[in-house]
Structure 1
Amino acid sequence: MVDKLKIQIADQFPFLDNKKLLLATSGGLDSMVMAHLFQQLHHDIALAHCNFQLRGVESFGDQKFVQDFADTNKIPVYVTQFDTLAFAKDYKLSTQVAARDLRYNWFYELLESENFDYILTAHHADDNIETFLINLSRGTGLEGLTGIPAENGNIIRPLLAFSRDEIAQYAHDHGIEWREDSSNASEKYLRNKIRHDLVPLLKELNPQFISSFQKTQSYLQQSEAMVEDASIMVYQQVVRQEEDEIYIDLKQLLRLPNYKSYLYQWLKEFQFSAWDDVYNLVDSLSGKQVYSSNFRLIKDRDFLILSPINFEEQQQEYLISQGVQDVKIPLKLSFCKVNDISVSANTAIFVDEDKLDYPLILRKWQEGDVFQPFGMEGKSKKLSKFFKDEKFSLLEKENCWILCSGEAVVWIVGYRQDERFKIQSTTQNILKIDLQ
């Protein structure tokens, strides 16, 4: 097994040579064999053990076992203890998820504070099979069937090519001791049921099941890479990004024979789970929305628009006093007196300052707002009608700011000035307001 691992490191993980490695060590069979193997290969290693305090005295026995092994073999060791149940309760997580989050957060802290290059975990081929079957039983996309990645950033899993039987045989041959986790025998966990009941049956039906499974998973990984490449190519033709918003062109999307698959590939990283609702947006009326934990997807005419959800409560009104020259929040506006007007884009307006009632108010538009469009003397128009005529998207309307003098709209900022505040021949004080 030492020689096989040496060859695998040379082929798959050559970057581990001469690096400082942190080995996640529970005290169980897999992690103790990994520690022994990397010690035999003379790598620069240290052990990291988490005491999750979930099994009473047994948890502290695991901690002492790992510390004693490290001391005996003169290997640096880092140990920490977590109140896992309290953390899970505070953050409304399952115990397993809480333990995983605590574990990896601490590993990354050690990586940075102690200058380690990589974290090594002892996941093996049987773990990969179990994960595959768990995901298969719950329903998953292609990525859920491709298994545990051998390399994920700074996390390396060097034992994925080895079965649990190989690891147990190595431990027996070399007299390696380990601690048994009593929770591994509990049938209340799905993984344990698969480990104890289903996987042995599959191995009985096919003695070469593990090697056959590894071939299948390799093919799935190749297929996943091909799907990802195709997804990126089509994305460039169908999708455009504007700042924090992503626009999916529905006309282009519907020309694709499997448009739902592309939608899934493009949106899966944004934590959506109600995929039928996402797909149904394509044929929905404008204004229909689907939410994930941090994002929303909106149907707006010929586009699906993805945008982040802003959880911060936004101040509704910002007051601007007379004499203020610059405003930085929520928009960057400048105010300066000028002697005459010039041709300007919609990013600047010129107003008769004597008609303004200070302080000015900068706020989001509201239903019922009315203004007199510049150049249309005496004619009022609802902002909602203006947005419709100008074909504003839902997000453009939501993000629209209004500069007001009392109740009167002075400027739909960046779009249209109000007629009532325009410069006339009698104007004495000209104020230029510029959106930067």
Structure 2
Amino acid sequence: MVKEEVQKVLARYGVRKEHPVLVALSGGADSMALLNVFMESGYKCQAAHCNFHLRDEESDEDEKFVVNYCIGQDIPLHVRHFNTKEEAVKRGVSIEMAARELRYSWFWELMDKENFYWLATGHHGDDMIETFFLNLARGTGLRGLKGMQFRSGQLIRPMLALRRTQIEQYCYGQGIPFRTDSSNTDMAFQRNNIRHNVLPVMNLLNPSFFNTMMHNFRNLEEAWQIVEKEVVAVRKEMVVEEGDQMMIPIRLIEKHPQRSTILFELLRPYGFNSQTVSEIIDSFDSIPGKQFFSGSYRLVRDRFNLVVVPIREFKDELFFINSGEKEILSPLHLKNKTVRKEG
């Protein structure tokens, strides 16, 4: 079942056996099963393993496991070490997000350096459902709810239609060894809370919950395609972009029937979340000059436009306020008034 499903997806998306594939190999059941299907099917494969140093000796044991396995199977292996906790602090993101950014940055670096045609990951259907609930809680919009794609550019995920239990049973049946990550039970990670607390309830309410979610993802993907088409049209008709700056006419976006969704998608690449977008829309009825901030951008609502500009460090510079001027918007929003001293 697993092998046949993977082969079917590879054929559907034109992954040929002569195209070199880089397989992301953690040592878990999903990536080990995927690597074995590629090798048994005659694909030209190499593997890449990340040691994030998040589980002390266990992380090193994972590395030793994949190194020994690849040596035994004559599979070329690339290994990279990361100080993930330090990087998370430096980037101001969660450990999970830092690990994701680090590994994909390295994977794409390897793709270019070694001329791989495809990057294959072992993401499966349960991963996709967990990500749905994570993004639902974070408020990422329809884009984050529609699920992963089997193919995204050179990235291929051939196991998205499979369940975690199916993959593990395949490994047992084929004698494929794998490692179990002890942090999968650590409730400090949001994904684990969803996996162990939320999904069992959903499966209790609907024994066919997995299949229902796969159907939901297909519907959400189609809905997203409609939204994406409209976002592209709005960007072309309403938005002025120059370098790393953007300007959106308030009058035009205010009249759009789906202004919340459209504005969120326009501002998402600049780091603005759904809550901030709601506050921006609420500001349409207030006086101009209000400012909103993401991690690296500032949005100023002037009289006619929403203006998005990068946040830059302040330099030692003099600014003059004209006599009699009661309010300025730049470099800071300031109001002033004269108060007569009593006595």
TM over 0.5: yes
Equivalent position SS for 2:119 = strand
Kindly provide the amino acid, as one letter, of the partner of residue 218 in structure 2: S
**In 2, distance between residues paired with 1:78 and 1:244?**
36
Equivalent position SS for 2:255 = coil
CA separation of 1:22 and 1:302: change in aligned 2, threshold 3 A: same
Kindly provide the amino acid, as one letter, of the partner of residue 203 in structure 1: N
**In 1, distance between residues paired with 2:322 and 2:309?**
26
Offset from partner CA, 1:387-436 (integer Å, 9 cap, x none): xxxxxx978x99xxxxxxxxxxxxxxxxxxxxxxxxxxxxxxxxxxxxxx
CA separation of 1:310 and 1:126: change in aligned 2, threshold 3 A: same
**1:244: how far off?**
4.8
Alignment of 1:10 with 2:29, yes or no, is: no
Equivalent position SS for 1:68 = helix
**1:287: how far off?**
2.1
Task: Please name the residue that 1:308 is paired with.
Answer: 310
**In 2, distance between residues paired with 1:118 and 1:181?**
26
Task: Please name the residue that 1:425 is paired with.
Answer: none
Equivalent position SS for 1:78 = strand
Equivalent position SS for 1:5 = helix
**In 1, distance between residues paired with 2:236 and 2:15?**
34
**1:30: how far off?**
0.8
Unaligned stretches of 5+ residues in structure 2: 333-343
Higher CA-based Rg: 1
**1:38: how far off?**
0.7
Q: Could you say which structure has the higher strand fraction? A: 1
**In 1, distance between residues paired with 2:286 and 2:16?**
52
Task: Please name the residue that 1:388 is paired with.
Answer: none
CA separation of 1:236 and 1:104: change in aligned 2, threshold 3 A: closer
CA separation of 1:293 and 1:6: change in aligned 2, threshold 3 A: same
For the 8 Å contact 2:250–2:305, the answer to whether it is kept is: yes
Equivalent position SS for 2:287 = coil
Equivalent position SS for 2:134 = helix
For the 8 Å contact 2:141–2:261, the answer to whether it is kept is: no
CA separation of 1:205 and 1:251: change in aligned 2, threshold 3 A: closer
Task: Please name the residue that 1:361 is paired with.
Answer: none
Offset from partner CA, 1:251-299 (integer Å, 9 cap, x none): 2233323323322222122111322321133223222222222222222
CA separation of 1:87 and 1:141: change in aligned 2, threshold 3 A: closer
CA separation of 1:304 and 1:99: change in aligned 2, threshold 3 A: closer
CA separation of 1:394 and 1:87: change in aligned 2, threshold 3 A: closer
Equivalent positions of 1:263-412 (< 5 A) are 263-273=263-273, 274-311=276-313, 313=315, 366-368=320-322
CA separation of 1:80 and 1:211: change in aligned 2, threshold 3 A: same
Equivalent position SS for 1:246 = strand
CA separation of 1:100 and 1:239: change in aligned 2, threshold 3 A: closer
Task: Please name the residue that 2:340 is paired with.
Answer: none
Deviates more, 1:202-211 or 1:173-182: 202-211
Deviates more, 1:154-163 or 1:251-260: 251-260
* Aligned length in residues: 329
CA separation of 1:241 and 1:150: change in aligned 2, threshold 3 A: same
For the 8 Å contact 2:17–2:42, the answer to whether it is kept is: no
For the 8 Å contact 1:2–1:40, the answer to whether it is kept is: no
**In 2, distance between residues paired with 1:307 and 1:86?**
29
Offset from partner CA, 1:33-72 (integer Å, 9 cap, x none): 0111111111111111112222222222211111111111
CA separation of 1:21 and 1:285: change in aligned 2, threshold 3 A: same
For the 8 Å contact 1:281–1:289, the answer to whether it is kept is: no
Deviates more, 1:88-97 or 1:41-50: 88-97
**In 2, distance between residues paired with 1:232 and 1:107?**
29
Equivalent position SS for 1:19 = coil
Offset from partner CA, 1:326-363 (integer Å, 9 cap, x none): xxxxxxxxxxxxxxxxxxxxxxxxxxxxxxxxxxxxxx
Task: Please name the residue that 2:175 is paired with.
Answer: 175
Task: Please name the residue that 2:100 is paired with.
Answer: 100
Equivalent position SS for 1:306 = strand
**1:16: how far off?**
4.8
For the 8 Å contact 2:263–2:277, the answer to whether it is kept is: no
Task: Please name the residue that 2:338 is paired with.
Answer: none
For the 8 Å contact 1:33–1:171, the answer to whether it is kept is: yes
CA separation of 1:222 and 1:70: change in aligned 2, threshold 3 A: same
Q: What is the percentage of aligned positions where both structures have the same residue?
A: 35
Equivalent position SS for 1:305 = strand
**In 2, distance between residues paired with 1:48 and 1:254?**
48
**In 1, distance between residues paired with 2:303 and 2:17?**
56
Deviates more, 1:179-188 or 1:23-32: 179-188
Task: Please name the residue that 1:37 is paired with.
Answer: 37
**1:243: how far off?**
5.4
For the 8 Å contact 1:284–1:299, the answer to whether it is kept is: no
Q: Which has the higher contact order (CA 8 A, sep 6+)?
A: 2
Q: Could you say which structure has the higher helix fraction? A: 2
**In 2, distance between residues paired with 1:244 and 1:47?**
37
For the 8 Å contact 2:260–2:278, the answer to whether it is kept is: no
